[in-house]
A and B are shown apart, each in its own frame.
Chain A
């Protein structure tokens, strides 16, 4: 199973630099070990989106690997034969056909069954609805989908208006795409206003459904604050019109009493996929000029799409919090744009979702349980490439854009978002496997895999935003972001997370966290009346940290003297994720050992023990 190829060169994506080393292919990872430093670059097979073998050159055979976490590696293998072996093995490995082949089923973080079970119990959606104040006098839990009979892509537990009887529910579900009838997803207790979600009605050009109309009527009646319900169709009007020809469509305001219908204009999954491809193409260009960059950013349309989603979420939040109206959100199937808008809207309205735990709950609720098709969208199994789309990535980016506008409003930093993104694609934990809850139950994920949330909570301190202020959140429970275009920025730390040369070499965030850690330590040290000088020594070490890291500058002088001075100053070819000054290689991390694990392994994507074990195995089998 294991392949080992010596004398492979790893080229830096944006400069002329390269490093030599050995490439290992194991059952789960592709590992590159630099011969000069033993630095390790390891890529999980599931992260690989595509492998491309370029035509043979004088120096060897180039192999370009693109990853779903936006890492791009460019190897040059000396012998064409070796290159072909790696290429064909990778092709086989990166197209798993059954879920059982995914890493989550073999990943073992050395936990017993009880710990595993506790991990899965961390997030409880029943408790979440209770927190919102549901069930209440207007909303109740229905058991209509207990056995996934009415809608197989919905969760078992659903909340509907008290007045929505079973026949109404069943009738309505038959009139909606994939049976996804209107259900409650967020309840704004202060105004008793509800956010509901569903799929498009099967209205065609003229079809009506009395049960569906009663359903909307019931939602409207459940809210005494407003005489009407907003119906937000998150699609562009043209798309919705086109759907009518296929017997689908949108609500006719004449048939539904008390609704206010509104198109929002978020593009579909295909447009989003193409847009991201364009963006990645632009930013992957070497020696990109500022003009081409900005022009590419514009023509990719990416930020325009991000803004459209945020705009829709703001509309939703305003309708609920200011007007006190209930809102029904849908798109076509109600699992992409609808998930984006509902979750982002709730994040704007409810400070709880801006905490670490709350954000997990939000994802669990609006994305996982309501059946965002993670398997299809993230290409977990070898499937239809037309189903793949960066919908969830967009959601994370919208959250990041908001956190940039409100630095004090979020308990977590962007590293939390990046880590979630990493694991949505890693298939290392069970949470995001499959397309819906029913499928997950069939796969017995709770018994056979581990929960990402437990892992993330266990290292919560690494994801804290030092500027988070609960007092600020109390004073500003509802966020009112500006939607002016210049508040939307390119998320470099996401799309260039492995391109070290792009990032600031020093990070304010990291420094603040380290300082805080040390001051906490200082406090306890003082309390324990321990030796003060020893403590100051520790602090001194911390302060010495960045100059030490900066030594790359000198290290480089002797290794490559460029013949041409004109190149701009770019450093190290280090391939670890290097968001904002977070350090690079393993060896550097080890040299921080004196900090006693405060910040050393915060972004280690796999437990180092596992990697090195596999590495050991790899060597033995080779």
Chain B
């Protein structure tokens, strides 16, 4: 399977502590879309392996333990209740006790394992519980995964601030690449290189960093070629209750725009929320100090509220009752689609400021690591055709999420089924993918990637063979040697064998902005993800596969 180095073998030994029963025969697996099957269950440090024992079938199911969000176990020790059971049950009873483990995955699949033997069942359940939520990142599977078709010599990643800067020569006149954060000391969650106004030197940046939450001073994340306007993002200014000012911060923002011009600040919190934020040391850019900047507030939900929204939606999708009113009220109650609507309309607002009104925009919320990234990513997709290709989209995600310091490790530790007390979990990235899916639904020709890519990313962020979404920021990844010791998901997705599956066969590049409609009637539940394991979704997938085949066939005719 994979070549393991000595060190890894030792680590595997550690896992073996958690594995009391490694193999169980005669396990029955129930999974969606398939009839139940009987076979052998195997548990290793990172995987649950089930191999089918039915005749003329050698199906194997390999499940990454990290995929498991929650398990429910029920064991039946029938010995004490013999009088309650009829004769038919009697034979079952004497064969011993048995147990059932329901496995709820982060990809929303629900599996059931019927395991003979109560003790074995409990052992397996215990192993799953322990191994599926190991906290030590360096013990996670990406550090052990050795694909045969990728070389570790390959360059890691697709894009970076440096690359973006060198690709946009127009930037060079007024912007520079700063390495003030080369040792992550100015802002722990930023990458070593960032793009800032040319007139602002590194010392000024250090002072600005002290005035912004988590040191996230405003940096450029997008340059709009059509009119030279930019999108910047950062953390909130730490004005506090005393309305503290920072001359350097004001200078930085002033340097972004011409003296005659004005800019917009999109704050992803309501005006009420920002007033409250002042009491805890946060704040906003006041009109008097930033006279050329106009603030726009759009309240976006994040954190716990968003996680709870996801939990409610997934619960609603799992409700098998036939009651239409109940479904619609649960759907409404989850508020997930409202969050989709808000995210898309805020992104539309941002894009409108830049593309239609021709102004530069600074986006932030409080930390600037969640909704800020969501909005800036979507706005770039709306405006910039380069982001809409498969490579372009992955590069965008790498710049705006991985390098910009979205804390994947914290946000994606658990998903909708977990019983663990929520801490920092929040499906912001999933919300992004849902919004991108809505864009794709409305402009099925304008995006170069397929729904399959979005589905893949929606799971990779939670559990993966690759190192791309490990850790919370560049600094942590650097400390663990992620780039040296793991493989890059994006490169794997772009391999010729994989790429075809993730491209949109109908893709037709357009230079125009793609403005989504955000009427509630125009937005839909992302069935491909939330109802993924139903036969109806399978039918849709088949139809999409059909499109691919047809287009390829017609392409051949056209070319011959």
How distant is the Cα of A550 from the Cα of B558 in the complex, in angstroms?
A: 25
Question: Does chain A have a CB within 8 A of B111?
Answer: no
Please judge, given known A-B contacts A294-B331, A487-B536, A516-B550, whether A467 and B341 are in contact too, CB under 8 Å. Answer: no
How distant is the Cα of A204 from the Cα of B443 in the complex, in angstroms?
A: 59
Q: Is the CB of A526 within 8 A of B329?
A: no
Could you tell me the distance in whole angstroms from the C-beta of B152 to the nearest C-beta in chain A? 40
Q: Is the CB of B349 within 8 A of A565?
A: yes
* Seed contacts A405-B539, A506-B443, A508-B506; 11 additional CB < 8 Å A-B pairs: A484-B534, A486-B317, A501-B517, A504-B441, A504-B442, A511-B444, A512-B506, A519-B553, A546-B446, A546-B508, A561-B356
Q: Mark B181-223, 1 if CB is under 8 A from A, else 0.
A: 0000000000000000000000000000000000000000000
What A residues does B519 contact at CB under 8 A? Answer: 14, 288, 501-502, 568
Question: Does chain B have a CB within 8 A of A304?
Answer: yes
State the B residues within 8 Å of A (CB): 264, 296, 316-317, 320-329, 331-332, 335, 337-338, 340-341, 345, 348-349, 351-353, 356-357, 441-446, 506, 508-525, 531, 534-536, 539-540, 542-543, 546-547, 550-551, 553-554, 557-558, 560
22 CB-based A-B contacts, threshold 8 Å: A298-B332, A304-B324, A304-B325, A407-B542, A408-B543, A408-B546, A489-B524, A511-B445, A512-B547, A515-B551, A516-B554, A546-B445, A546-B446, A547-B509, A547-B511, A561-B356, A565-B349, A565-B352, A565-B356, A568-B517, A569-B352, A569-B515
For A, the interface residue count at a CB cutoff of 8 angstroms equals 70
The 8 closest A-B pairs by CB, nearest first: A485-B327, A569-B515, A519-B554, A293-B520, A294-B332, A298-B328, A290-B338, A407-B543
8 A Cβ contacts from A514-530 to B = 515-516, 518-519, 522-523, 526
Please judge, given known A-B contacts A291-B335, A554-B512, A565-B349, whether A297 and B539 are in contact too, CB under 8 Å. Answer: no
Q: Which of A496, A535, A547 contacts B512 (CB 8 A)?
A: A547
Please judge, given known A-B contacts A487-B536, A554-B512, whether A522 and B557 are in contact too, CB under 8 Å. Answer: yes
Could you tell me the distance in whole angstroms from the C-beta of A481 to the nearest C-beta in chain B? 8
8 A Cβ contacts from A400-422 to B = 405-408
Please judge, given known A-B contacts A290-B520, A484-B322, A522-B558, whether A406 and B338 are in contact too, CB under 8 Å. Answer: no
Chain A, Cβ-Cβ closest to B329: A298
What B residues does A523 contact at CB under 8 A? Answer: 557
How distant is the Cα of A486 from the Cα of B530 in the complex, in angstroms?
A: 11
How distant is the Cα of A288 from the Cα of B519 in the complex, in angstroms?
A: 7
Could you tell me the distance in whole angstroms from the C-beta of B454 to the nearest C-beta in chain A? 16
State the A residues within 8 Å of B (CB): 14, 283, 288-295, 297-298, 301, 303-304, 307, 311, 405-408, 466-467, 469, 482-490, 492, 496, 501-508, 511-512, 515-516, 518-519, 522-523, 526, 535-536, 539, 543, 546-547, 550-551, 553-554, 557, 561, 565-566, 568-571
How distant is the Cα of A84 from the Cα of B508 in the complex, in angstroms?
A: 49
Please judge, given known A-B contacts A482-B535, A504-B441, whether A536 and B521 are in contact too, CB under 8 Å. Answer: no
Of B322, B324, B441, B516, which is in contact with the most chain A CB atoms at under 10 Å from its CB?
B324
What B residues does A505 contact at CB under 8 A? Answer: 442-443, 514
How distant is the Cα of A301 from the Cα of B539 in the complex, in angstroms?
A: 28
How distant is the Cα of A492 from the Cα of B536 in the complex, in angstroms?
A: 20
Q: Is the CB of A485 within 8 A of B322?
A: yes
Q: Is the CB of B442 within 8 A of A551?
A: no
Could you tell me the distance in whole angstroms from the C-beta of A469 to the nearest C-beta in chain B? 8
Could you tell me the distance in whole angstroms from the C-beta of A480 to the nearest C-beta in chain B? 9
Query: What is the interface of chain B mostly: helix, strand, loop, or mixed?
Result: helix
What B residues does A486 contact at CB under 8 A? Answer: 316-317, 327, 331, 525, 531
What B residues does A518 contact at CB under 8 A? Answer: 554, 558
What A residues does B521 contact at CB under 8 A? Answer: 283, 288, 293, 490, 492, 496, 502
What A residues does B524 contact at CB under 8 A? Answer: 489
Q: Is the CB of B324 within 8 A of A502?
A: no
How distant is the Cα of A289 from the Cα of B299 in the complex, in angstroms?
A: 14
Q: Which of B328, B444, B535, B560 contacts A303 (CB 8 A)?
A: B328
What B residues does A294 contact at CB under 8 A? Answer: 328-329, 331-332, 337, 520
What B residues does A482 contact at CB under 8 A? Answer: 534-536
How distant is the Cα of A4 from the Cα of B516 in the complex, in angstroms?
A: 37
What A residues does B316 contact at CB under 8 A? Answer: 486
What A residues does B508 contact at CB under 8 A? Answer: 543, 546-547
What B residues does A405 contact at CB under 8 A? Answer: 536, 539
What B residues does A546 contact at CB under 8 A? Answer: 445-446, 508, 510
Q: Is the CB of B328 within 8 A of A508?
A: no
What B residues does A288 contact at CB under 8 A? Answer: 519-521
Q: Is the CB of B445 within 8 A of A408?
A: no
Q: Which of A492, A502, A507, A550 contacts B510 (CB 8 A)?
A: A550
What A residues does B520 contact at CB under 8 A? Answer: 288-290, 292-294
Q: Which of A506, A519, A547 contacts B444 (CB 8 A)?
A: A506
What A residues does B510 contact at CB under 8 A? Answer: 546-547, 550
What A residues does B353 contact at CB under 8 A? Answer: 565
Could you tell me the distance in whole angstroms from the C-beta of A177 to the nearest C-beta in chain B? 30
What B residues does A289 contact at CB under 8 A? Answer: 338, 341, 520
How distant is the Cα of A557 from the Cα of B358 in the complex, in angstroms?
A: 11
What B residues does A508 contact at CB under 8 A? Answer: 444, 506, 547
Could you tell me the distance in whole angstroms from the C-beta of A335 to the nearest C-beta in chain B? 26
Q: Which of B332, B345, B443, B518 contacts A504 (CB 8 A)?
A: B443
Q: Is the CB of B338 within 8 A of A568?
A: no
Q: Is the CB of B557 within 8 A of A519?
A: yes
What A residues does B351 contact at CB under 8 A? Answer: 569
Please judge, given known A-B contacts A290-B338, A546-B508, whether A506 and B515 are in contact too, CB under 8 Å. Answer: no
Q: Is the CB of B546 within 8 A of A566?
A: no
How distant is the Cα of A294 from the Cα of B328 in the complex, in angstroms?
A: 6
Q: Is the CB of B558 within 8 A of A539?
A: yes
Q: Which of B322, B517, B558 contacts A503 (CB 8 A)?
A: B517
Q: Is the CB of B324 within 8 A of A485?
A: yes
